[in-house]
Structure 1
Amino acid sequence: MKSINIKKLYNYSAYIMILLLFFSKGLPNVMLIILSVLFLINFDSKIFKINYSAKTILLVLLLYLTIKSLFYGNLPFDFKIYKGLLLLLWISVLLYKIEDIKTLKLVVLMSINACILVSLFLIARFYFQTGILPFSNTAEVNNLLLLERPYIGFVAVLGFLIAIEKAISFSNWRWIYSINSLALLAFIILISARISIITIFFIAGIYFLFYFKTKWYKKILCALSLLILFLIIVVSNKNISERFFIKSDFEKSMQEASDYEPRIVIWHCAYDMTQNNEFNRITGFEGYQIIKNNFLSCYESSIENESKKQYFLSEKFNSHNQFIDLYLVGGILALLLFIVFFVKLFYEVKNDFIATSIVISFLFFFLVENIFYRQFGCYLFGIFIFKLIPPKRINNE
């Protein structure tokens, strides 16, 4: 009886942690501590069994980066980043004990919907006060959303995929989950979340090309139709077209992108620092302190507009690409380990379209953000990648 009560308490603590994740930075950590204590009370060493999986590759990556930082004496500074990897691995260990995946997915979906509803309330209040929806390149947008636009768009994509899965699985509630998925899709378009829109259309294309059972020419026709629909949405929606820097001619579009897209400057600086003599292509820079200083030095010397320069220097932008980040700090070794991690992950989930779509969503988001820099991103990664998507089933028979 005591074991059953601890199990229930454990499950509910995990659910509360997930519900709080979208509304607070500190409270999920409190629940994480409670989960950790309950885990130690009912400790099971089988959870730590080592096998060849995507998680093991990520653990090897963390060990490599940690040993390298110790060697160069940079661990006190670098650990600020590496603790994110440690956090997501620990979350995956704690959630391993949650057996009811259906309920866990429902809790995640409810949390995402609550986050979106609060954001819609803030948007509606602003619209009734001003009569505008400032979802182009404006500073106001993040004040209207519970999370920053890239992250809330990404969260909406994950919620959209869970809702689609539940619409397929539960016939009695199919219409509710179908409406939920459409509402999340509409929200993504409303806030003009670029990478999320691209991700949704790419996933749909993958479905028609590889999972939709029909003749090959119909697959190609569906994929082309999706591409045309994407272009129509980008061109016809004013906010989205401005987010994609669509202007009257190509030169104006490139100038607009250069002026308002920070990643153009950031990635150019990242490339420049790899040409530096202190950069080792095999093992990268000695640590994150050097990378941070190099970025600041590049912003100082390469940005001519004074206000833009001060903005970059005050924000201290990182690489905004997890692959670039790992290449800078760990060289080809770290980059290859991260690529192998995704290859292994795709292999484990290739037969499950929703699981594959979740992996694709994270892959695309890694191309524009450093998820491991943020506690929230590490929570999402640990929950979705290491718990909610099923591993490749091995038939021992």
Structure 2
Amino acid sequence: MRILLSAIYPYAFLLLYLIIPFDNYIRALPNILMAILVVAFPFIVKKEDFKKLKSLPIAIFLILFAYLLIDSFSSGRLLEDFNIIKKIMIAAGLAILYIPVADAKKINGAIIFSSLAAILFSVYNFVLITDATGGFALGDSPQVIESLLIDRLYLGLLCTFSILISFQGIQKKYHPNNNYYLANILINALFIILIASKIAVVSLFILLLIKQFYGQRKIWKILIAAFAITAVVGLFFVIRNEQSIQSSQKENLKNPPAFIENSMTYELRAVVWNCAQTIINEDGFTLTGIGFDATKDELVACYKTQISDIEKSEKFVSKRYNTHNQFLDFYLSAGFIALFIFLAFVVVSFITNRKQFFPTAMLAILLMYCMVENLFHRQIGAYYVGFILIVLITSAKPAENNSLK
């Protein structure tokens, strides 16, 4: 029995990360795979496997989960907040469930194939929608927004993972796999540009800048770093001007479709962050927070009073938009203690892995996406944070993660 479970377990783990983007279409399968992993784990894990968890960043992340659980329970809001805490548990759980697996490369391969499958699915949908509507447009167009397999932000995150993994896999000496990695980088980068995922584009330029600090210092690296900094600054000003562009689009379209309105991410975040700042100013310093559900209630109350446009106000209230910033969410919902622990996890992780590009780049991606999204409010976000935790584990113990059990 143990031999059979040991044979199935790694492939169940790989299949889980392969099908994550298709969660809306095969919702039951990820839960089934998670159940298989949880049930099989006690039978196949060995005592020496737990040595992989001897990592300070992982310990801090587990402390964050424990604190959120205790804070919610002691405040009498565990039932209301458990939906969010559960997703943090999923991220931590995936890191723990990984330890019997000893092949990080195959998990990386699952991410690459998952990204390609999501791209193919989205392109196929785009062709069908374009044929049905008779129009062709890219970027923020209705065709693109409707054709994507998952939200643009998370699809951009997946493509960024795929590009980074492929770049890391390229060998300096000639190897046949180099051609496949280069092709994958080109496909994913082109797709990110076509769907206009701004946070993914910014992330790639930041990663390009970070890479210049690794390896030999050469003059061309300085030029690349200067180009990356210039590009990021330029993109920042483009995003800043997006609000005025979207306002003119609204004037030209009296009744824009819902998916066009949902694509206006800059304006959405500007309103949400303003309300979050208002709540912080009114409530003052908080050590333990008001709860994840109560934070949404206060944001909704702010939308009702701060948004003058009735139609827009009703939309924000009905959607119950969260803070769209993981740091703000932790502070408002679980207080300064939760924010401090999460920041400690990020800082300690950077310090621990500063000599390795791959985990440092993954942490940079986590940091950038946490600035514009509440990753723990979506199950797909929890899965991908779990993947980052796995990268931290495998980077700390590379010799123990190079063969499949």
Same fold (TM > 0.5): yes
Residues 221/15 of structure 1: CA separation in 2 closer, same or farther (3 Å cut): closer
For 2:39, the equivalent position in structure 1 comes to: 37
Question: Alpha-carbon deviation of 1:368?
Answer: 0.6
CA contact (8 A) 1:47 1:93 kept: no
Instruction: Choose the corresponding residue for 1:86, options 82, 89, 99.
Output: 89
Instruction: Choose the corresponding residue for 1:223, options 225, 239, 246.
Output: 225
Letter in 1 for 2:36: I
Deviation per CA, 1:263-318: give whole Å up to 9, x if none.
101011111111224x5432222x22321211000000011111111111111000
Letter in 2 for 1:38: A
For 1:318, the equivalent position in structure 2 comes to: 322
Question: Alpha-carbon deviation of 1:376?
Answer: 1.0
For 2:253, the equivalent position in structure 1 comes to: none
Unpaired runs of 5+ in structure 1? 236-240
1:20 aligns with 2:26: no
For 2:255, the equivalent position in structure 1 comes to: none
Question: Alpha-carbon deviation of 1:212?
Answer: 4.6
CA contact (8 A) 1:112 1:159 kept: yes
Number of aligned positions between the proteins: 379
Deviation per CA, 1:98-130: give whole Å up to 9, x if none.
112222211221122111111121123333443
CA contact (8 A) 1:323 1:366 kept: yes
For 2:130, the equivalent position in structure 1 comes to: 127
Question: Alpha-carbon deviation of 1:45?
Answer: 5.0
Deviation per CA, 1:202-248: give whole Å up to 9, x if none.
1101112x115234x6443222223455678899xxxxx6xx3647x
Letter in 2 for 1:124: V
For 1:7, the equivalent position in structure 2 comes to: 6
Residues 267/229 of structure 1: CA separation in 2 closer, same or farther (3 Å cut): closer
Residues 339/231 of structure 1: CA separation in 2 closer, same or farther (3 Å cut): closer
Question: Alpha-carbon deviation of 1:382?
Answer: 1.0
Q: SS in structure 2 opposite 1:334?
A: helix
Q: SS in structure 2 opposite 1:390?
A: helix
For 1:59, the equivalent position in structure 2 comes to: 62
CA contact (8 A) 1:57 1:341 kept: yes
Deviation per CA, 1:327-373: give whole Å up to 9, x if none.
11222211111111011111232222122111111111111111111
Letter in 1 for 2:17: I
1:282 aligns with 2:281: no
Q: SS in structure 1 opposite 2:222?
A: helix
RMSD, aligned α-carbons: 2.8
1:390 aligns with 2:385: no
Q: SS in structure 1 opposite 2:395?
A: coil
Question: Alpha-carbon deviation of 1:141?
Answer: 3.7
Instruction: Choose the corresponding residue for 1:330, options 334, 342, 354.
Output: 334
CA contact (8 A) 2:288 2:336 kept: yes
Q: Name which structure has the greater RCO, CA cutoff 8 Å, separation 6+.
A: 2
For 2:147, the equivalent position in structure 1 comes to: 144
For 1:238, the equivalent position in structure 2 comes to: none
CA contact (8 A) 1:119 1:145 kept: yes
Instruction: Choose the corresponding residue for 1:264, options 260, 270, 291.
Output: 270
CA contact (8 A) 1:348 1:391 kept: no
Q: SS in structure 1 opposite 2:176?
A: coil
Per the normalisation by structure 1, the TM-score is 0.87
Unpaired runs of 5+ in structure 2? 251-260, 400-405
CA contact (8 A) 2:69 2:85 kept: yes
